[in-house]
Structure 1
Amino acid sequence: MAASVAVGIPLAACGSGHETGTINIYTNADAGAITKTASAACTKESGGKYKLKVHILPKAADDQRLQLARRLAGNDSGLDLMGLDVVWTAEFANAGWVEPVPDELAAKVQQTTLGGPLSSALWKTDDDSEKRLYAIPAWSNTQLLWYRPDLMKQYLGTTKAPTTWDEMLEATEKIRKAGGPSWIMEQGAQYEGLMVWFNSVLISAGGSVVDPDDATKQTLNDTPEHRAATLKALQILKSVATAPGHDPSITNADETAGRLGMESGKAAFQINWPFVFASMRSNAAAGDVPFFKEMTKYSSLLTSEPEDSALGEVNDLVRTKFEFAPYPGVSAGTPARSTIGGLNIGVASTSKQKALAFEAAECLTTPASQKIYAIDGGNPPVLKSLYDDKDFKAAYPMGDIIGEQLAAGRAATRPASPVYQSISTLVTATLSPVGSWDPESMVDKLADQVQKAIDGKGLIP
């Protein structure tokens, strides 16, 4: 679908060609600064073999994808490397827009990369005999459960985090009845965050949106077991969105709203990415978190941008009021599956210097580069070895949980499909406003919408 759409769009602002030895990489706006830092290091390391030039894509993911599609459809030879959202692999591979990773490099990547990020870069086109690597993972991400241990102690007599959604709902109800803050912050607005929430709970319940081995088949209601998993996931979403004392703005909430709800003191729990830890630390030190005035004694330290190794004492204090735990599961004793985010680096099929581009891509995903992305940019690494690195551990107190949730068997990837964007658009439109529907009837409605997306029908909700 994207290929046909892109062909019909004027190829405004496309490059006029390539310059030998200059490797152009296009990446998202949020990653611009750290990509420039890593690119400068790789350019220097190449000894004059190549020069990496960073181009910034728009901030919104849909706009990033559209600009890349325009350039690729227009055969832009000045496009060498692409920062690819983890959900684009199938679409770009099927369209012939991204080069498969050479076997020798692919083998190295597969040996050193955590299973979740690795799976996001694998795809099997009609010309492939089996799944193969179409991009190199650069960084990843996973959501955690964030909670107030002080509230837990005050109202429940424990600081142990709930391990399931049901336990969390039970805890918030007890806190609410006792007069405490009871919101559970989640991403319930009609956008990709809602897809991430549904997908995580669905896979944790034993279900999936599409068949992992056949993207032409939806698996929301194709078997009794899959129907039961979908129903359970929908029941959980509805329970969170409609519980007594729920966040009244959950149907419009995104990651920032979740962070602010927690920092304002209105929430007991939050599902969010690791960036919220640094936010709580800095905002509490600035005096902007009403329940955490103890942090203000570190205001001068944090405004001086200290090294992560100097933050041990500060982080310990943060965790007395803002703690983290693994993503909540569906069933007690069964680890949850948290949907991953992140970015992969692919070599464009339009590049006139593919071999050199792959050399640059390999440099941009080395341990040294990934430490830049992680420590300077807040994007967890994909290399297994870095989770034992002392600098990473100092910057990420929650690093062990992140590593566990990115491993094979624990990480959840969004549906691997060439039409993922259509699937996500229809799923989030169907689920919105979140919790306003009957879970039983929603199972079939949702399955019908996913099949329409797969079949190329009803793409405008």
Structure 2
Amino acid sequence: MADLHRHRARVLAAGAALALLAPLAACGSDEDGGTPVLNLYQFPVENFQTVVDRCNQEAAGKYRIVYQVLPRQADDQRVQMVRRLAANDDSMDILGMDVTWTQEFASADWIKEFTGADKTEVENGTLPGPLASAQYDGKLYAAPNNTNVQLLWYRKDLVPTPPTTWDEMIQQAQQLKQQGKNPYQILTMGAQYEGLVVLFNSLVASAGGHVVSDDGKKAVMDAGTVKALEVMKKLATSGVTSASFSNAIEDDVRLAFQSGGGAFQVNWPYVYASMQGDAPDLLKNVAWARYPGIDANTPSVTTIGGSNMAVSAYSKHPDLAFAAIRCLRGPDSQEYLAVNAGQAPSIERVYDRPDMLKAYPMKAALLDELKNAAPRPRTPAYQNLSTVVAAQLSPPSQIDPERTAADLRKSIQDAIDSKGVLP
């Protein structure tokens, strides 16, 4: 997930290959004649066991959730899940999924549809962007557990008024450089991995473009995508990015900014908590704003991150799994994890709770973006698509907008058709 609620960068082919060799976690099993066990497979989340313990207490013996902790890297997580699901493994009950996996898993009939009261419960108050990430083919297949969007972080002692567009930000950074002021750099993710795809997708969405058709079956790459590529090329060759831009992932950007290496940072909200602990003096001079747009007259659109919970199609206790998800991703759980694990809630009303103001002082900007955030290209072949897009956009300085768009159109169509790319 380049979403990365708490910085979980992708490791593409290499990480996936290693995961194939990793032993599978031991599973909880039903006690003879006792309480049914629900195995929850999810990435590591700080303090999540506390949520599991509370939900088990509230279940009062109806079920017992066992938290099976997956590896930290998103691709490693996916490979372990896919391997088990492809084998019809009935020891999996609840799946903690990256938002990009919903369509893939639903199209493979690996997860159950939310219907009736379960569907109503999820839809009630969930922000539109996260909810869209849980849908496939007009049906609901998952429950958004948390969400995320990137913000613009800037040095207010250097930049009194934040830029509203990428062009304006580049211009401001160049002016700082010309004036001999330091830092002046724009810091964001440019390495060949999911973070680069997120940057591209946000720029495409901000330009009103489309990478794939609405049904996810055809590569589009329209004028909006060409405009996005022009902005990426301009940024990479502007002379105001860091020397490590083409190799930078989220934590590289975070560390560089909080070490005083940039005037601007485009990154996820977790950087605020990091600065609170590691750079409190710098934080006094840092402010945040909406993600930069393409056109000053059109609000920006940024890519949504986060995770969803789904019920395995092979679970022996699907009804209990749906019930457990109500608790695991309910308002109280989301508030607790927002405050204690840095996970932004997907339920809008949670942002109104008193504890959220201290944990998320940027919540107004976050909510503003979340209300019109863009999903990543919605296709069951997203993993293939992400791999080829990251490869062809790296390094960003070598982008030739028209030619790159044409090359991407062909490569993305091949990825959708599963030609020449390992899933």
Tell whether the structures are fold-level matches, with TM greater than 0.5. Answer: yes
Change in Cα spacing, 1:383 to 1:16, as seen in structure 2 (3 Å) is closer
Q: Secondary structure at the match of 1:105?
A: helix
Within-5 A mapping of 1:14-33: 18-19=29-30, 21-29=36-44, 31=45, 33=46
Change in Cα spacing, 1:73 to 1:12, as seen in structure 2 (3 Å) is farther
The residue number in structure 1 matching 2:369 is: 405
Residue by residue over 1:262-313, the C-alpha shift from the partner in whole angstroms, topping out at 9 and shown as x without a partner, is: 122221101000111111122124xxxxxx4xx7xxxxxxxxxxxxxxxxxx
Greater CA deviation, 101-110 or 268-277?
101-110
- Partner amino acid, structure 2, of 1:362: R
Shift of 1:39: 0.8
Shift of 1:246: 2.2
* Conservation of the 8 A alpha-carbon contact between 2:52 and 2:65: yes
The residue number in structure 2 matching 1:442 is: 404
The residue number in structure 1 matching 2:257 is: 262
Within-5 A mapping of 1:147-186: 147-152=154-159, 159-180=160-181, 181-186=183-188
**Superposition RMSD on alpha carbons, in Å?**
1.9
**Aligned pairs, how many?**
401
Shift of 1:90: 0.6
The residue number in structure 1 matching 2:192 is: 190
Identify which of 285, 305, 324 aligns with 1:341.
Answer: 305
Identify which of 144, 147, 164 aligns with 1:140.
Answer: 147
Shift of 1:333: 2.0
Residue by residue over 1:416-440, the C-alpha shift from the partner in whole angstroms, topping out at 9 and shown as x without a partner, is: 1111000000000000111212112
Greater CA deviation, 184-193 or 237-246?
237-246
How far apart in 2 are the matches of 1:112 and 1:444? Answer: 40
Q: Secondary structure at the match of 1:411?
A: coil
* Conservation of the 8 A alpha-carbon contact between 2:28 and 2:38: no
* TM-score where L is the length of structure 2: 0.91
How far apart in 2 are the matches of 1:170 and 1:62? Answer: 37
- Partner amino acid, structure 2, of 1:205: A
Shift of 1:446: 1.1
The residue number in structure 1 matching 2:9 is: none
Change in Cα spacing, 1:108 to 1:13, as seen in structure 2 (3 Å) is closer
Within-5 A mapping of 1:297-336: 318=283, 320-336=284-300
* Conservation of the 8 A alpha-carbon contact between 1:14 and 1:76: no
Residue by residue over 1:370-401, the C-alpha shift from the partner in whole angstroms, topping out at 9 and shown as x without a partner, is: 01221111010011111111111221000111
Percent of paired sites with the same residue: 43
* Conservation of the 8 A alpha-carbon contact between 1:15 and 1:78: no
- Partner amino acid, structure 2, of 1:136: A
How far apart in 1 are the matches of 2:86 and 2:422? Answer: 23
How far apart in 1 are the matches of 2:53 and 2:178? Answer: 56
How far apart in 1 are the matches of 2:128 and 2:170? Answer: 31
Q: Which sections of structure 2, spanning at least 5 residues, go unmatched?
A: 1-15
Q: Which sections of structure 1, spanning at least 5 residues, go unmatched?
A: 125-130, 153-158, 221-225, 286-291, 296-317
Shift of 1:175: 0.4
* Conservation of the 8 A alpha-carbon contact between 1:90 and 1:416: yes
Change in Cα spacing, 1:11 to 1:63, as seen in structure 2 (3 Å) is closer
Identify which of 231, 240, 259 aligns with 1:236.
Answer: 231
Change in Cα spacing, 1:123 to 1:62, as seen in structure 2 (3 Å) is same
